[in-house]
Amino acid sequence: MKAFMVDTYGDAAGMRTAEIPDPVVGADDVLVKIHAASVNPLDTRIRNGDFKTILPYRLPLVLGNDLAGTVVQVGSSVTEFAVGDDVYARPDQDRIGTFAELIAVHRNDLAPKPATLTMTEAASLPLVALTAWQALVERAHVQPGHKVLIHAGAGGLGSIAVQLAKALGAHVATTVSTAKVGLAEQLGADEVIDYRTQDFEALLDDYDVVLDSIGGDNLAKSLRILKPGGTAISVAGPPDPAFARELGANPVLRLAMTALSFKTRRRAKRHGVTYSFLFMRASGDQLRQLTPLIETGKIRPVIDRVFPFDETVQAMEYVESGRVKGGKVVVVMP
């Protein structure tokens, strides 16, 4: 099969198109013919080697963390999927590789594609929708009436998180650039803050939850707008001890993560709030829970641009360029 490989960590020069053997299908696996895959900042960060300490992939590596496609083979223990089913998934972090014609996915990571979505639309959702669900539902337990701040609310993650928070009954504020204010309003945000001209810390107070995808000073300021007992969840901030335990990290790595997040956790404690780092995990069950929200239109995909599969490297460069106007970038098979 054809795939986009990473031979060496670094920039796009380390990627190439290759013909590689078809995946081996285990007893609990489902072989999927990929119709579309989306590009996430995570893909470029993996390619650049940013996670090689905590995710020691063996090179060469096929990139890609989202897919939509059709089942072409099932393992001997699989009963919930059949050949011909349309599915979508974020494969487990140890089995990524959706920038390819085929992929073997564990059955627990896979879900039926929402009937209302095209393959292109479905491919844009799994990673960001699961991240939003695990942050807002699983960790923050967002309830009707809660006040939630979503940073970068027009981005891939933010655009879905805003919609999910609204579906959960929350009052939602978001930060965006000037050009994306209109999109954030269309997604349902109650308060849209143009970070180029406005300071969210001066405008917001007494919030229950912040979902941060920026880190740095943005995260530090976010802690200060939370009410006592509030929660800041970041996908960009420093990893914390809980993540180290979840990862099963060795003692040296656990100590390093504890040190990296010490200042942030200390600031959070000083403000009477909690800080949590989130590295999302694959879950077919959670995708199934999201399906009713998708099929009723409460969560709709936001797609910025579609590239042909042969231009996967260009699609990644486009994501890195900062020119994305909102939502996700998707690559599609011929």
Fold topology of 2-124+302-332? Quinone Oxidoreductase; Chain A, domain 1 (3.90.180)
- What's the confidence (pLDDT) of residue 17? 92
What stretches of 237-327 adopt beta strand conformation (E)? 274-277, 303-308
- What's the confidence (pLDDT) of residue 322? 86
Percent of the chain residues past pLDDT 90, beyond the cut: 89
Options 3.90.1300.10, 3.10.150.10, 1.10.287.180, 3.40.50.720; which CATH number does 127-277 get?
Answer: 3.40.50.720
Mean pLDDT, range 1-28, rounded to an integer: 93
The contacts of residue 204 (CB under 8 Å, 6+ apart) are 149, 173, 191, 193, 225
- What's the confidence (pLDDT) of residue 202? 97
Residue 12 predicted with pLDDT over 90 = no
Torsion of CA 135, 42, 250, 95, to 10 degrees: 100
Residue 308 predicted with pLDDT over 90 = yes
- What's the confidence (pLDDT) of residue 302? 98
User: With 0-12 CB in 10 A as exposed, 13-18 as middle and 19+ as buried, what is 270?
Assistant: exposed
Mean pLDDT, range 46-61, rounded to an integer: 88
The per-residue pLDDT of the chain, averaged, comes to 96
Q: Which has more pLDDT, 258 or 117? A: 117
Residue 10 predicted with pLDDT over 90 = no
Model confidence at 252, pLDDT cuts 50, 70, 90, reads confident
pTM of the model: 0.96
Model confidence at 13, pLDDT cuts 50, 70, 90, reads confident
- What's the confidence (pLDDT) of residue 247? 83
Q: Which of 2-16, 114-128, 275-289, 318-332 bottoms out in mean pLDDT, i.e. has the lowest?
A: 2-16
Model confidence at 191, pLDDT cuts 50, 70, 90, reads very high
What stretches of the chain adopt beta strand conformation (E)? 2-6, 15-19, 29-39, 61-62, 67-74, 86-89, 102-106, 110-112, 147-151, 171-176, 191-194, 207-212, 226-234, 274-277, 303-308, 328-332
- What's the confidence (pLDDT) of residue 262? 94
Mean pLDDT, range 177-189, rounded to an integer: 97
- What's the confidence (pLDDT) of residue 246? 86
- What's the confidence (pLDDT) of residue 253? 86
Model confidence at 56, pLDDT cuts 50, 70, 90, reads confident
- What's the confidence (pLDDT) of residue 11? 82
- Comma-separated ranges of CATH 3.90.180.10 domains in the chain: 2-124+302-332
- What's the confidence (pLDDT) of residue 106? 98
- Comma-separated ranges of CATH 3.40.50.720 domains in the chain: 127-277
